[in-house]
Structure 1
Amino acid sequence: MGYVIAVSGKGGTGKTLISALLIRHFSRKCPVLAIDADPDSNLPDVLGVEVERTIGDVRESLTGEEVREFEGRIHEILVEERDFDLLVMGRPEQEGCYCVVNNILRVAIDSLAKNYDITIIDCEAGLEHLSRRTTRNVDIMLVVTDATKKGILTAKRIKEIANNLHIKFKRIFVVVNRITPELQEQMEVSLREEGLDVIGFIPFDQIVAEYDLMGRTVFEFPDDTPVVRAFDGVVKRIEEELSGL
């Protein structure tokens, strides 16, 4: 049985970058399933993966009864890369409720995750994924925030809503992204005052924007860049936490 790590947070905080860095790290060590559960899909671009079909595409050809039997069709949309596999939620063609797509996503997670050592879920921005329960069986929830009051409050709300809905993450941590040295101590105090456990700080790094503009992926980041060096500390802590579960 593998471990499931979910990444959530306010839009624009770098949630997908953190998900991609997790995939970069763990795919060098073990079989990894990456799931883009955000309808506004960006993870494939950051990973450099071409996606032809999504769960939203397949959903259009399924009736309610067939959703339960979706497991047999998962491999139609599972993108198999050399070091990891990727499943993308996408958007349904029809306007309106995402209920069926989310049901299919839950079936996919439950069915596939057991076949991998690590499953990494890039959640949709905000709080909706909690009420939809797409992250119900998660070992570690990482909440990504930036150095803003709104980011801190979103992280706090994610923890509160999870508790209110009785969603039992085994661990929940905050990652502060794009932090400057001047703000790190203040952020740490603010998060602690809100009852949030910080697992690490990721500094602003110009290479992230430069590589994005050049169409290069996280797998091409040099190991000695500030963002990668800082993230090494985050994943070390994650691995320690997983070993204790």
Structure 2
Amino acid sequence: MTKTITIAIAGKGGTGKTTVAALLISLLSQKGLVLAVDADPSTNLNQALGLPLDENRTVGRIREKMTEDVSKGRLSPTIPKQEYLFGKIVESLAESKGFDLLAMGRPEGPGCYCASNEFLRASLDKLVKDYKYDYVVMDCEAGMEHISRQTTRDVDVLLIMSDPTMKGVTTAARMKELIGELRTKVGEVGLIINRVKGELSPEIKKAIDESGLQVIALIPEDPNMAGLEMKGKPVTELPQESPLRSKVKEIVESLRL
């Protein structure tokens, strides 16, 4: 693979975007090397993937410490700040078979100076280039403006998650409208409706049509999920024939990833 494919998954909380992101990462890691980016401050992607995470090694904590060190003169002027940040980001990677996980953690606070954000964007892009990742999969927070703050990379595929409710579809439609305001270029956009029971209501079908969003998958309620969640097991332990895993496989095939 010559070009790194960047996939972002967005949606309001509770729609299952982290679950779908984890399954995508698991499947794509069988095809190439994946950089998994947990861009949601709640940092749940590692649990879905079955990886431990040191909260003190998120990118947010690294950036906060660098900002503090710079303001208090603790960072030697002989150390290039970009080089320092990149080294710390590499150290923070949680490695697994076929993929590395980078947890963004908390977004920048009011005291965070702009240069550190520029360093962060450059560091992420350098990471992808140096490590020659085939895929970047970003599990995003509810809003999408942070995509431009965290990377200068174009997004090849944006998957917007919704549940089968009017509120979910309305939120998804609003996200689609916000794409034009991003500094990031976005290629293909698709809507995934999760936890579908039976047919979608006529009202929801109409709302989807009016939004202009293309539905790429209707994922049925998966009875296997409740058992995994009760036991605290990662979603990657879903049976191969489970409805959820099967649908995510179909998404990978339909998007030719």
Cα 1:112–1:188 shift into 2, 3 Å: farther
RMSD after superposition: 2.5
Please name the residue that 2:82 is paired with. Answer: 68
| Equivalent of 1:55 in 54, 59, 69 | 59
Paired with 2:143 and 2:34, the residues of 1 have a C-alpha distance of 25
Please name the residue that 2:97 is paired with. Answer: 82
Please give the residue correspondences for 1:51-200 in structure 2 after superposition, counting only pairs within 5 Å: 51-52=53-54, 53-63=57-67, 68-69=82-83, 70-91=85-106, 96=110, 103=118, 105-114=120-129, 115-129=132-146, 132=149, 134=151, 137-165=154-182, 167-183=184-200, 187-200=204-217
Cα 1:130–1:33 shift into 2, 3 Å: closer
Paired with 1:45 and 1:204, the residues of 2 have a C-alpha distance of 20
Is the contact made by 2:48 and 2:236 (CA closer than 8 Å) also made in structure 1? Answer: no
The normalised TM-score by structure 1 is 0.86
Is the contact made by 1:127 and 1:158 (CA closer than 8 Å) also made in structure 2? Answer: yes
Is the contact made by 1:8 and 1:144 (CA closer than 8 Å) also made in structure 2? Answer: yes
Paired with 1:99 and 1:139, the residues of 2 have a C-alpha distance of 29
Paired with 2:110 and 2:23, the residues of 1 have a C-alpha distance of 32
Please name the residue that 2:27 is paired with. Answer: 25
Give unmatched runs, 5+ long, in structure 2. 71-76
Please name the residue that 2:227 is paired with. Answer: 210
The normalised TM-score by structure 2 is 0.83
Please report how far the alpha carbon of residue 160 of structure 1 lies from its aligned counterpart in structure 2 after TM superposition. 1.1
Q: Helix, strand or coil: the match of 2:6? A: strand
| Equivalent of 2:44 in 42, 45, 48 | 42
- The percentage of aligned residue pairs carrying the same residue is 42
Structure with greater Cα Rg: 2
Please report how far the alpha carbon of residue 134 of structure 1 lies from its aligned counterpart in structure 2 after TM superposition. 4.6
Give unmatched runs, 5+ long, in structure 1. none
Paired positions, count: 239
Is the contact made by 2:10 and 2:160 (CA closer than 8 Å) also made in structure 1? Answer: yes
Cα 1:135–1:178 shift into 2, 3 Å: farther
Write out per-residue CA displacement over residues 26-60 of structure 1, whole angstroms, 9 at most, x where no aligned residue.
Answer: 01221111010111111011111111211122123
Cα 1:67–1:10 shift into 2, 3 Å: farther
Paired with 2:203 and 2:240, the residues of 1 have a C-alpha distance of 28
